[in-house]
Structure 1
Amino acid sequence: MDPYLGQIIFVPYNRVPNGWAECNGQLLPISQNAALFSLLGTTFGGNGTTNFALPDMRGRAPISQGMMPGSPNNYTVGEPGGSETVTLTAQQMPMHSHTVNAVTSEGNQNIPTNSLPADTKLLDKEYSDANANTTMKATMINPAGGNQPHENRSPFLTLRCIIATQGIYPSFN
């Protein structure tokens, strides 16, 4: 059975079969691929005069065009999106608390490095039984994290994505 011209499939081959091309963003000459160009145009790139680009599916997952119910996004054919990695901001993290460790014994260090807040005999009532979540001095607990991006992709299996450069020209209603 012949494929439709422009049909995209995933295959487990290490080579590209005859009549197909890899979806790697390559430019094809319009003069040799007029029928395929009439379907794709410059949706995926190219100058539209002498060449056009095939879709580049390397490192990408396909989604259907249109608007998903409940989503503000209306995706169009050829529109790329997403990121392989992402760096979270403080606004993207859920509200949470950190425990502050302290001791009730008398302090024996002059500097705070590698030490815990401790009782001193110089002041009264350094600790309180007031409610938790009291605002402390901003430097009491330092931010954590390395501000480095992390993996953002779902589990995946690598296959070769190819597009039919020869086949039946599709009819449209």
Structure 2
Amino acid sequence: MAQPFLGEIKLFAGNFQIRGWAFCNGQLLSIANNDALYTLLGTTYGGDGINTFGLPNLQSRVMVHQGTGAGLTTRVMGEVAGAENVSVSTAQLPAHTHTVIATTANGTTTSPANALPAAPSLSTSFGYLSGTATGTTDAAPAPTAIASAGNSQPHNNIMPVLALNYLIALEGVYPQQN
């Protein structure tokens, strides 16, 4: 196998670091011990630029090309974007309505296809504007019929993945620019 370029990143299906390579997990390295690699990466991925510099962190990340593509957002080298979990707020939902259908008529059937059921259950989210389960007094719709839903809990936002290790070459041929 040909010698890699210093700073080259590759996928590796093993669960260990290959000699001369390091996991792309955001770890900080000593500039004094890795000065050639530091000249390529600088502090793009972290570090203080005096004693340390960071390796790219590709844990739970998808790589994208830096720059601007037609119709795409500009991406800067080392920029981190996206989120593993998101909470959707009501402001992010498309405008829509929920129509309340009600009547003052009594229910007429126990099979409510296109009709009102004869005996409403107070434990359901359907409510009558006139009458309760016993039909003696007015009752408001059940609170669950008009309440907010979702509880603002974050949901997983990760596309399907296959876990592998990204490695970066700590040793190799220093890449030359054209």
Establish whether TM, by shorter chain, passes 0.5: yes
Q: Report the number of matched residues.
A: 154
Give the 3 Å change call, closer, same or farther, for CA 108–158 of structure 1 in structure 2.
Answer: closer
- Which amino acid is the alignment partner of residue 156 of structure 2? E
Which residue of the partner structure matches residue 125 of structure 1? Answer: none
Question: Is 2:152 the counterpart of 1:163?
Answer: no
Answer with 91-100 or 147-156: which moved more.
91-100
What do the CA deviations read for 1:63-117 (whole angstroms, capped 9, x no partner)? 110123223x3111111111000011223222334353546317999xx775612
Shift in Å, 1:150? 0.3
- TM-score normalised over the length of structure 1: 0.78
Tell me the equivalent position of 1:124. none
Structure 2 unaligned blocks of 5 or more: 108-117, 136-143
* Counterpart in the other structure of 1:9: 10
Gaps of 5+ in 1: 122-138
SS in 2 for 1:163: strand
The 8 Å contact of residues 101 and 117 in structure 1, kept in 2 or not, is answered as no
Q: What's the Cα RMSD here? A: 2.7
Distance in 2 (alpha carbons) for counterparts of 1:38 and 1:58: 23
Q: Which amino acid aligns with 1:19?
A: G
Alignment of 1:108-119 (within 5 A): 114=124, 116-119=127-130
TM-score, normalisation: structure 2: 0.76
Q: 2:159 aligns with which of 146, 149, 154?
A: 154
Deviation at 1:42, TM superposition (A): 0.5
Q: Percent identity?
A: 41
Structure number with higher relative contact order (C-alpha < 8 Å, ≥ 6 residues apart)? 1
Q: CA deviation at 1:40?
A: 0.3
Instruction: Give the equivalent residue in structure 2 for 1:52.
Output: 53
Alignment of 1:18-37 (within 5 A): 18-37=19-38
Counterpart in 1 of 2:140? Answer: none
